[in-house]
Amino acid sequence: MKLVGVVGGGTMGAGIAEVCAKAGSDVLVLETKQEFADAATKRVTTSISRGVAKGKISQDDADAAIARVRVTLDIDEFADRDLVVEAAPEIESLKFEIFGKLDTIVKPSGILATNTSSIPVIKVATATKRPEQVLGMHFFNPVPLMPLVEIISTLVTSPETAAAVTDYAKNTLGKTTVQAGDRSGFIVNALLIPYLCQAIKMLDSGYATAEDIDAAMKGGCGYPMGPLTLVDTIGLDITLAAAESLYAEFAEPHLAPPALLRRMVESGRLGRKVGRGFYKYD
C-alpha cells in the first residue's frame, strides 16, 4: 500500500489523507473543483501543522508528510494506486458512479474501499467488476486523533483483501481495527446514532436544555463531549444519513430519525462545519 488514493478532500477525506501521508504513503486526493482542491490542501496542512504545535510530530516529518499529499482534479491519475479510499458525500448514486469509474481506471490489483457510514458496502462493490476487492474502511472524526478503523467485509470480499487492508490500518497507520459485518451502522454507529438521536428527541421535547444534556453525559459518564456537541462535530447531515440508513435497515420505530434533526438539516444548520448547529461557532 505505497500508493494511496482518497476520493474527496472534505473533513474525512483530508483526515484519511493526513494519516496515510504521515505513515509514509504517497497520497493522491481527488477533488471536483479547484476551490475544493485548495480547501483540501489547506485542511491537511493546517491539521499537520497543529500536530507540530502540539508536539506530536517534528517539523521535518510534517514537511515530508505534506510533500507526500497531492490533490488532483483528474481521476485518471488514480491508475497506479494500490488502495483507494472513497470519502465522497453520502449520496448513493454518486458513490456508484465513483466506484464504476474507479473500476475502469485503477490497476486490476488495486483495492477499493469506502468510508461510508450509511450505505451498504455491497451496493458500491457491485458497481465494479472486482467486488471481491471492495470493502468498507470506516474512519472516525477527527481521523488523526481517533484510533479506530472499522473493516467491513461484504459477503463477497475476499479474505486476502480484508487481511491486506487490516494490516495496513493496523501496522502502517497504527490504528486499532475491528471487523464488522455489512449491516447498517457497523458496530460504532449502530450504538452511537440511536444515542445521539435520543438526545435530540430529549431536547425537542423540552425535557432539558442542550447545555444540560451535554454537561450530563460529560460529567455523568465521562464522555469527552456531550451528544449534541458531537452531532455538531460529525455534521447533522451525516448524522441524519446514518439514522435514515439504520431505520431503513431494521425498521424499528425507535430508530426513526428525529423531526428536529430533519428540520435543522433542511434549514442548513449542519453543525460546526457551517458555524451553526445546536450551538453557534465563530
Q: Catalytic residue positions?
A: 117, 138, 150, 189
- Residue 276's CB: how many other CB atoms inside 10 A? 17
Positions in 220-249 near ligand CAA (CB under 6 A): 224-225, 230, 234, 238, 242
Cell numbers placing 237: 447531515
54 contacts ligand CAA (rule: CB under 6 A): yes
CB of 79 to ligand CAA, least distance (A): 29
- Identify whether the C-beta of residue 27 lies closer than 8 Å to the C-beta of residue 14: no
CB of 234 to ligand CAA, least distance (A): 5
| Listed ranges 47-55, 129-137, 163-171, 173-181: which one lies at the site for ligand CAA (CB under 6 A) | 47-55
Q: Which residues contact 151 (CB under 8 A, 6 or more apart)?
A: 135, 136, 137, 138, 162, 165, 166, 169, 177, 178, 179, 180
Binding map of ligand CAA across residues 87-126, x = CB under 6 A, - = no contact: ------------------------------x---------
First vs last C-alpha separation in the chain: 39
Q: Which of 45, 72, 126, 141 binds ligand CAA (CB under 6 A)?
A: 141
Edge-to-edge strand list for the sheet holding 134-139: 69-72, 26-30, 3-7, 83-86, 111-114, 134-139, 148-152, 176-180
Count residues near ligand CAA (CB under 6 A).
20
- φ, ψ dihedrals at 71, nearest 5°: -105, 135
- Identify whether the C-beta of residue 243 lies closer than 8 Å to the C-beta of residue 90: no
173 contacts ligand CAA (rule: CB under 6 A): no
Binding map of ligand CAA across residues 175-204, x = CB under 6 A, - = no contact: --------------x--x------------
146 contacts ligand CAA (rule: CB under 6 A): yes
Q: Which of 39, 56, 172, 274 binds ligand CAA (CB under 6 A)?
A: 56
